[in-house]
Amino acid sequence: MAGGAREVLTLQLGHFAGFVGAHWWNQQDAALCRPTDAKEPPGELCPDVLYRTGRTLHGQETYTPRLILMDLKGSLSSLKQEGGLYRDKQLDAAIAWQGKLTTHKEELYPKNPYLQDLLSAEGVLNSDGIWRVKSIPNGKGPPPFTTAATPKPVIPTEGSIRVWSDFLRVHLHPRSICMIQKYNHDGETGRLEAFGQGESILKEPKYLEELEDRLHFYVEECDYLQGFQILCDLHNGFSGVGAKAAELLQDEYSGRGIITWGLLPGPYRLREPQKNIYRLLNTAFGLVHLSAHSSLVCPLSLGGSLGLQPEPPVNFPHLQYDAALPFHCGAILATALDTVTVPYRLCSSPVSMVHLADMLNFSGKKVVTAGATIPFPLVPSQSLPDTLMQLGEATPWTPLSACGDPSGTCCFAQSVVLRGLDTACHTSQLTPGTPLPSLLHACTTGEEVLAQYLQQQQPRVRSSSHLLLTPCKVVPPYPYLFSSSLSQQGLVLDGPPTGAAVESIPVLGALCSSSSLNRTLGDLAKDLARVDLRRWASFMDAGVEQDDLEETLQELRSLAQCYQSGNSLLD
């Protein structure tokens, strides 16, 4: 829309959502801090969609995520709840009492070495206790001061990462973090384990009012709010928090897009039966309730199954990752998220959240699947038509919604984004007169190549596609997951390894309304039907009754029927 960005407010609910979100915001931050010799043209993605400008009490201009995040007591480590950019007014108030004072100070968590290095690289803490940033990240104004050299960053090790705030390099607004003090992040007691517990949190006036106040603060300063994206843990009680938050947004902000990303960590562990049953129940209740109140819901996981049947985690040919580490899983899912959300973050001709959802969710299909090729396997000597032709007829992306092998399934609608390829390789470079290996080689633009490829793959599918030059940034603290066969720009080397660290990668990402959800949601319903809630009294104690289970089971079955192969818009 002319005249301003179409703003999005992000809600980040839960600890695994925190890992995905920290990587997501780090990647946004890396994209903002473009070097002066950057090859990709500026302006493809609009940072103002996700960020807001502000000013501290001391006149310092800031640029922070338009974000509300909720997590449990003990999850912040060394991160202050009010963030580090703004000074609390209460701390600046003069103390009227002139008598003797006794100060009780809680022992602070030690700051991760990576973050200590980050502070020295990005700003200074003045003697008055005020943090001074070196520059406004998107270059909207002159930097307050400059430095001659930037220290080489410390790369965080997996062992140094306990919580998501250990590697978050983005400064947050004081209104971003909302802590749920009645439940603990650590320990075996006082955990937020069940859907009903999460629902009840936002029924309490204290937490409901706090969320509403933060929503109003961010929404009222928006000129063209297009909607909300919710990053929400599905496997624990935050599925209930997310469901109530989505219901609140639907009631208060009718007509705005609400896209929910239901996040699940790595595969089940067979020796943890209670956690597995709770994960099943929370996922089922979460998907049903979130789909009722969201424009679109997409499960995101590197696991192979949403149900109780254990499946191995998904495989990426050029990545080596540990599925048991949220630090690894969160990075990969954030990279996929950074790609599939491109349509509603574009500077030029963006697709609004509402229109994206409308394209994908017809005939009651509120749940979609995600997939990504990380990185997209382009060899420098090849063109995009060459690479796509080599992929053959198989699904070109790795499934990321725990729906199993997509082969043999059909797609009803899809939104596809390919990013990070230089213009020179978009079309065929064959010598004139050379026989064309495929129709793709006859296309004159990269956009035409991608659209033609998708048409060949799924001839009767409603498709939307975008081709961007801007790659995904994977600089530290992004974990080093890449094989030695990749170049610094993430291309597949056709020669010996160069030894240079991968800094950016091309990515192919997709959102699909797929018939694979018929089997996945149907299997989830079968697992749910076998659960005897009387054996899991603590789940019922949280406010869920047998009738609720039966209703959720019926809704799940109805949702699964929407994705039968013959239920196509074009049939």
**Which amino acid is residue 167, in one-letter code?**
F
Give the Cβ contact number of residue 554 at 10 Å: 12
Please report, rounded to a whole number, the percentage of residues in the chain having pLDDT higher than 90.
Answer: 64
333's tokens: 């899912």
Please state the φ and ψ torsions of residue 473, each to the nearest 5 degrees.
-85, 135
Residue 116 has a pLDDT of: 53
> What is the model's pLDDT at position 94?
37
- Per-residue pLDDT averaged across 140-169, rounded? 63
Q: Assess whether pLDDT exceeds 60 at residue 454.
A: yes
Going from the C-alpha of 332 to that of each of 84, 178, 227, the distances in angstroms are 27, 26, 25
Q: Does residue 125 have a pLDDT over 50?
A: no
Specify if 256 maps to a domain. Answer: no
pLDDT at 43: 79
- Report whether pLDDT(375) > 60: yes
pLDDT at 5: 85
Residue 503 inside a domain? The answer is yes
Select the more confidently predicted residue: 493 or 269: 493
SS3 state at 472: strand
Question: What's the confidence (pLDDT) of residue 88?
Answer: 47
Of 315, 294, 295, give the one whose Cα is nearest residue 304.
315
pLDDT of residue 413 exceeding 70, the answer is yes
For residue 397, is it within any domain? yes
Span 2-23, mean pLDDT? 91
Output 544 or 165, whichever has higher pLDDT. 165
Contact call for residues 192 and 71 (beta carbons, < 8 A): no
More confident residue, 348 or 101: 348
Place of tokens 């998107």: 138
- The answer to the question of residue 162 being in a domain is no
Q: How many CB atoms are located within 10 Å of the residue 545 CB?
A: 11
| Rounded Cα–Cα distance for residues 479 and 359 (Å) | 35
Q: Tell whether the model's pLDDT for residue 118 goes beyond 90.
A: no
Identity of residue 168: L
Handedness of CA 567, 256, 240, 338 (dihedral sign): positive
The reported pLDDT for the residue numbered 142 is: 32
Range scoring the smallest mean pLDDT among 38-42, 225-229, 394-398, 538-542: 38-42
Q: What is the mean pLDDT of the chain?
A: 85
The tens digit of pLDDT for each residue in 179-199 reads 998 888 876 667 899 999 999
Residue 463 falls inside a structural domain: yes
Q: Provide the residue range defining the domain that includes 381.
A: 370-516
Domain presence at residue 426: yes
Q: Is 387 within a domain?
A: yes
Q: Pick the range with the lowest mean pLDDT from 2-11, 59-68, 486-495.
A: 2-11
In the numeric block, the tokens 């949601």 are attached to 521
Look at residue 78 and tell me whether its pLDDT is greater than 80: no
CA 26 to CA 477: how far, in whole Å?
Answer: 8
Whole-model pTM over 0.75? yes
Tell me which of 552 and 97 has the higher pLDDT: 552
SS3 category, 439:
helix
Q: How many domains does the chain have?
A: 1
State the Cα–Cα distance between residues 531 and 549, nearest whole angstrom.
Answer: 9
Given pLDDT bands bounded at 50, 70 and 90, which one contains residue 145? very low
Q: Please report whether residue 125 resides in a domain.
A: no
Residue linked to tokens 């609720």: 548
d(CA 386, CA 380): 11
**Given the DSSP bridges, would you call strands 177-184 and 67-73 parallel, antiparallel or unpaired?**
parallel
Give residue 542's pLDDT band: very low, low, confident or very high (50, 70, 90). confident
